[in-house]
Amino acid sequence: MPDLDPALITMATDYVTRIVGVVVALFIALIVAGWIRRLVLKATEKAKVDITLGKFFANAARYAVLTLAVIACLGVFGIETTSFAAVIGAAGLAIGLAFQGSLSNLASGVMLLMFRPFKVGDVVKTAGEIGKVDEIELFTTRLITPDNRMIIIPNSAVFGGTIENITFFDTRRVDVDVGTVYSADLDATRKVLEDAVAAVEHLPEPAPQVFLDVLGDSAILWKVRVWTNTPDYWAVREKLTRAIKTKLDAAGIGIPFPQMDVHLDPQLVDAMKRTA
């Protein structure tokens, strides 16, 4: 049997040692990555971060550890990791430009989950739509409209625009505009409107308001404002509107239609009659 070249033996031993070291390093990296993932997940749960966002951060941390481990292992075999990192960076830039819309939605979804301008179950007005929030995902937000339609809105349109959280507070103010005829006595009208408010039971604080608003073109305009629990808004609004109409009818105070007085020039009328 011919003798083996000592240099070849040394080279083979060196590569076997490197391979064993890389396998051990990757195995340790897998353990560390899993440990970091669990640590980040527990930290986000303790901070009461949304579970979707918590899992996203935990998985991102795990993949970051594994990526660093792979790059380090490539360096063991003499592969230039700086150029490799540059290629990854260039590829990441290209992917980012190609998916900039999706990445914008992702970033907006993260911000929505972190700052929580609304939560599941709230009724909101955003991106020109009104509905109850069904789910907040990383890329989209789903609303259910009052007529039971599902609206899916990109998160960039939600976070980049005005958000009105209609049910954020426990109470909400109900405003009803009322117009009465000019012949109606102001004090009597106020008393009737206050009686209408009193007919609506179980109204929370602040106290109701009845005030004279505007002397309009066709009517004297009043505003009636009461507060109610947010879930009862539409029921209280209907009860109040009905009570106002009933009380005004009982008091003989009219609600006028829009009207316009037209004044004709007598000379023009005579001229028209002569030419007729």
Can you give the pLDDT of all 276 residues of the chain as single tens digits? 455 566 666 766 767 777 787 788 888 888 998 898 898 888 878 777 777 677 777 888 888 888 888 877 777 666 666 665 666 666 666 655 555 667 788 888 888 888 889 998 999 999 999 999 998 888 899 999 999 999 999 999 999 999 999 999 999 999 999 999 999 999 999 999 999 999 998 888 899 999 999 998 889 999 999 999 999 999 999 999 999 999 999 999 998 877 677 777 788 877 777 776
Q: Is residue 34 part of a domain?
A: yes
Considering the domain architecture, whether residues 94 and 16 belong to the same structural domain is answered as yes
Considering the domain architecture, whether residues 75 and 127 belong to the same structural domain is answered as no
Considering the domain architecture, whether residues 78 and 10 belong to the same structural domain is answered as yes
The angle at the Cα of 45, spanning 65 to 56, to the nearest 5 degrees, equals: 45
* Conformation bin of residue 93: beta by default, left when phi > 0, alpha when psi is -120 to 50: alpha
Considering the domain architecture, whether residues 141 and 123 belong to the same structural domain is answered as yes
Q: Is residue 259 part of a domain?
A: no
Q: Is residue 266 part of a domain?
A: no
Q: Is residue 261 part of a domain?
A: no
What is the per-residue pLDDT for 68? 82
Three-state SS letters, the chain: CCCCCHHHHHHHHHHHHHHHHHHHHHHHHHHHHHHHHHHHHHHHHHCCCCHHHHHHHHHHHHHHHHHHHHHHHHHHCCCCHHHHHHHHHHHHHHHHHHCHHHHHHHHHHHHHHHHCCCCCCCEEEECCEEEEEEEECCCEEEEECCCCCEEEEEHHHHHCCCEEECCCCCEEEEEEEEEECCCCCHHHHHHHHHHHHHCCCCCCCCCCEEEEEEECCCCEEEEEEEEEEHHHHHHHHHHHHHHHHHHHHHHCCCCCCCCCCCCCCHHHHHHHHHHC
Q: Structural domain tally of the chain?
A: 3
Q: Is residue 271 part of a domain?
A: no
What is the per-residue pLDDT for 262? 78
Q: Is residue 233 part of a domain?
A: yes
Q: Is residue 29 part of a domain?
A: yes
User: Domain containing 224 — which CATH number?
Assistant: 3.30.70.100
φ/ψ (deg, to 5) at 145: -75, 165
Considering the domain architecture, whether residues 175 and 156 belong to the same structural domain is answered as no
* Residue ranges making up the domain that contains 185: 171-251
User: Domain containing 70 — which CATH number?
Assistant: 1.10.287.1260
Considering the domain architecture, whether residues 77 and 147 belong to the same structural domain is answered as no
Considering the domain architecture, whether residues 192 and 236 belong to the same structural domain is answered as yes
Considering the domain architecture, whether residues 156 and 190 belong to the same structural domain is answered as no
Considering the domain architecture, whether residues 187 and 140 belong to the same structural domain is answered as no
What is the per-residue pLDDT for 213? 94
Q: Is residue 210 part of a domain?
A: yes
pTM for the full model?
A: 0.65
